[in-house]
Chains A and B, each alone.
Chain A
Amino acid sequence: GAVVSQHPSWVICKSGTSVKIECRSLDFQATTMFWYRQFPKQSLMLMATSNEGSKATYEQGVEKDKFLINHASLTLSTLTVTSAHPEDSSFYICSASRLAGGPYEQYFGPGTRLTVT
């Protein structure tokens, strides 16, 4: 297998607070992890790409100071939404890729549904 877990699966928080989402690859080493956001009935939007031990690369329009990404080990990446606002309410999905062996398939976590009130 190639299993990716996310925690929590859903979270409700108040406006102005911060929320941390964890993404773990359970049975493989993930050289690269990706964070996506998906609004209802819209396509996946890549937020950032992170490689273990280095700073994340953010997509244009994504505020790096608001969406803090840490990829401290080959099996764990975290996304922290700081000072969350209602417009940050979305479905956040992480995926992980193992470079060895190709074809650079991304294995997706189950997603985290964030609601900011």
Chain B
Amino acid sequence: GQNIDQPTEMTATEGAIVQINCTYQTSGFNGLFWYQQHAGEAPTFLSYNVLDGLEEKGRFSSFLSRSKGYSYLLLKELQMKDSASYLCAPLDSNYQLIWGAGTKLIIKP
């Protein structure tokens, strides 16, 4: 079956760094997306990885290891507005996004 595993909730301090891990099992693999979703809003795109390694985009970076079925999202210089859910979503062999429940990130002053 297809499965996504992320921590349910994480707490971090404003200005700090946090890493959100994701392990996945899918039927085939065509890359992995990270989305951010604020409460009551639709998801917004953060990053896409299809090859192994680190992709950096400003304060956010995403890492992928295809052999381990593992990805992480790294958020630096945390701001209060980063409080949201972060969704790890791999693309399966049918190019369908597989969604987990996401990680709720709480930022404290």
Contacts and interface: CB of A to CB of B under 8 A. Distances in A.
Interface in B88-109: 91, 95-97, 99-102
Interface stretch (A11-19, A65-73, A77-85, A105-113): A105-113
Q: Is the interface of B mostly helix, strand, loop or mixed?
A: loop
Contacts of A110: 41-42
Interface centre among B30, B31, B43, B87 (most CB of A within 10 A): B43
Contact of B42 (A49, A103, A104, A109): A109
A43 B33 contact: no
Interface string A88-111: 000101010000000111111111
Contacts of B97: 46, 106
B87 A44 contact: yes
Nearest to A107: B45
A49 B96 contact: yes
Contacts of B87: 43-44
A45 B48 CA distance: 20
Interface of A: 42-46, 49, 91, 93, 95, 103-111, 113
